Amino acid sequence: MSNMTYWDIKRERNKQCDKEHLRSLRAADWRVLVVWECWTRDIARLHKLLADFLD
């Protein structure tokens, strides 16, 4: 298996795990907000996103 194949499979499995976890949390009546690391660079935007979500 090539390195590229390994990472493709790993990324797909990670996506599936993320979907399963989100589904499970929502089934337990949790509201879920996913924050991407790149969003943390703009603190004002992140603050608004979090405030809107928690409002």
pLDDT at 2: 78
* DSSP labels, the chain: --HHHHHHHHHHHHHHHHHHHHHHHHHTT-------GGGGG-HHHHHHHHHHHH-
Q: What is the pLDDT along the chain (55 residues), one digit of tens a residue?
A: 679 999 999 999 999 999 999 999 999 999 999 999 999 999 999 999 999 999 9
Predicted pLDDT of residue 27: 98
CA 46/CA 50 separation, integer angstroms? 6
